[in-house]
Amino acid sequence: MRIDIISVLPELMESPFSASILKRAQEKGLVEVHLHNLRDYSEKKFKQVDDYAYGGGAGMVMSIIPFSKCIKQLKAEREYDEIIFMTPDGEQLNQQIANQLSLKGNLLLLAGHYKGIDQRIRDKYVTREISIGDYVLSGGELAAAVLSDAIIRLLPGVLNDETSALSDSFQDNLLAPPVYTRPFEFEGMKVPEILRSGDDKKIEEWRHEQALERTKTRRPDLLKNNSQE
Ligand code: ADE
């Protein structure tokens, strides 16, 4: 998989991609991440990438030309399965969307700033618009990093234990059950005995019950379209 991200602040995303799982995924050749600085595509003297909004009002709008130049150049080099604009008014990211996108080959993410981007960029190039939640960030960079992380960890070979992404919360519309490690007893609190029983079938049943219980109390909305009950 290849992920290209266009932004005015690519340095904001350098650290998430330079550590731990995302770093290893790139080193193993399972994903390529390319950050593109929108200013490199500005035709203005001081590399501006924004301008006043038509119709007036506070806040600058990101101009069509730098985005258009950068997108055209990238599209000439390869085909993109999706061109995704990160925006609080997009569809809300969930595990299902991450799963879908993890099956794609080339993704292009656009991170906006200021009051938004010229609508014509969205109309002409963008195939999907994604929000990471009902709150407004200073820009789309952190949202693009969150989306990339959610996708990359699903790629085969990225996690050491092939099954561990499948047992994540949300994969089956259930939250994950509680987990424990040593010591067996801490300040009077003991690990549930069943987890030391060695009976894999019983442990699996216990985990499923716990996952169901946790989901019922914390996120009953997840169970609505679910046959788990
Ligand atoms: N840009 C600003 N806020 C955002 C959000 N919540 N999700 C995606 N992109 C954003």
What does the domain layout of the chain look like in residue ranges? Answer: 2-152, 169-223
Q: Mean pLDDT throughout 186-190?
A: 98
pLDDT computed for residue 29 by the predictor: 98
Q: State the average pLDDT over residues 97-102.
A: 97
Span 169-223: which CATH code?
1.10.1270.20
Interval 8-18 mean pLDDT: 97
CA 90 to centroid of ligand 1, rounded, Å: 8
All residues at 6 or more sequence positions from 133 whose CB lies less than 8 Å from its CB, including other chains = 88, 92, 93
Tell me which of 6, 136, 147 to substitute to probe ligand 1's pocket, judged by most ligand atoms within 8 Å of the beta carbon: 136
Judge contact between 116 and 62, C-beta under 8 A.
yes
Q: Which of 22-26, 101-105, 150-154, 221-225 has the least mean pLDDT? A: 221-225
Ligand 1 proximity of 143 Cβ (cutoff 6 Å): yes
- What Cα–Cα distance (Å) separates residue 226 from each residue in 1, 112, 163, 220, 223? 31, 36, 21, 10, 5
What pLDDT sits at residue 216? Answer: 97
Nearest protein Cα to ligand 1, atom 4: 88
Residue 135 CB–ligand 1 contact under 6 Å:
yes
What is the distance between the alpha carbons of residues 198 and 163, in angstroms, rounded to a whole number? 20
In angstroms, how far apart are the furthest CA atoms of the chain? 71
pLDDT digits (tens, 9 = 90+) for 105-117: 999 999 998 889 9
For the cut 60, the answer to whether the pLDDT of residue 228 exceeds it is no
Q: 191: alpha, beta or left, given left = phi > 0 and alpha = psi -120 to 50? A: beta
The band of 88, judged by pLDDT with boundaries at 50, 70 and 90, is: very high
pLDDT in tens, 32-75: 999 999 999 999 999 999 999 999 998 999 999 999 999 999 99
Tokens of 12: 């904001």
Higher local confidence (pLDDT), 82 or 170: 82
111 lines ligand 1 (CB under 6 A): no
- CA nearest ligand 1 atom 6, residue: 88
162: pLDDT strictly greater than 70:
no
Mean pLDDT score, 122-127: 98
- Class of 2-152 per CATH? alpha beta
